[in-house]
Amino acid sequence: AAADERGVPMLFPLMDLQDQSNLQVSDVWGGFGDNIRLASERYGPDAIMTGRLVQFGPDLWRAGWTLYLDGDELIWDSEGDSLGMAVEAGVQAGMDVLASHFAPLAGDSSTDRLRLRITGVRDIRGYARVKRYLMELDAVEKADLASVEPDAVDYVLQVRGGRQMLEQDIALSNVLLPAPREGTDTATPLPDPGEPVLRYRLRP
């Protein structure tokens, strides 16, 4: 339901003899990404999501999730009073990432387009925190996820009031801290982004 609501198509494996031969339950539980990617090639996916669910009591289910996206692995947990609630919460978090990642970048002549790199984002909770924070900023009209790395995310922002207004908004909070500029930045350089780049790191 979460995938349908977000407009993200989801395909479940057939689990026929070929799938059962290519992928073991232990591969999923052990998080063996290479085996999971290899077994998924027959479906030609843009991303792969796996889940592991355990019942801890009559009213407690917990799940561990992994999203394989563009060579990266994003890991998060969910829980709920029922199997369905635990699954729904976990899938919803995954859909948040996918919907932002594959959403087209929309131009807006009344706003400025800026690129924002944030380091220190190491898991799905960090990503959710950053996304929620950006959309709460008065200067930000739209925030599109441009790329995800093991320790960083890049956003393309549509900003009202320009770069100065965005920097002022960020400075008023204690969520993001300025990061080293290009040349001293230890993060992977952005490949000709085409927009001014602002660099920050997520406060722990």
Q: Which of 102, 130, 146 is the last residue of a domain?
A: 102
Q: Encode pLDDT of 86-121 as tens digits.
A: 998 888 888 877 766 665 444 444 678 899 999 999
Per-residue pLDDT of 139-151, as tens digits, reads: 888 898 888 888 8
Q: Are residues 78 and 161 in the same domain?
A: no
- Across the range 8-24, mean pLDDT stands at 90
The torsion defined by the Cα of 15, 17, 19 and 21, in degrees rounded to 10, comes to: 140
Q: Are 93 and 9 part of one and the same domain?
A: yes
Handedness of CA 184, 187, 191, 193 (dihedral sign): negative
b/e per residue 159-194 (b: at least 16 CB within 10 A): bbeeeebbbebbeeeebbeebeeeeebebeebeeee
**At 187, is the pLDDT very low, low, confident or very high (cuts 50, 70, 90)?**
very low
Domain boundary among 102, 137, 153: 102
Query: Quick check: is 97 in a domain?
Result: yes
Query: How confident is the model at residue 194, as a pLDDT?
Result: 54
Same domain, 94 and 121: no
102 vs 24, higher pLDDT: 24
Q: What is this structure's pTM? A: 0.53
* pLDDT given at position 108: 41
- Could you list the residue range(s) of the whole structural domain that residue 28 is in? 2-102
Question: What is the phi/psi pair of residue 49, to 5°?
Answer: -125, 130
In-domain check, residue 169: yes
Residue 69 has pLDDT above 70, yes or no: yes
Q: Are residues 131 and 57 in the same domain?
A: no
Question: Across the beta sheet with 152-159, what order do the strands follow?
Answer: 140-149, 152-159, 112-119, 197-202, 176-178
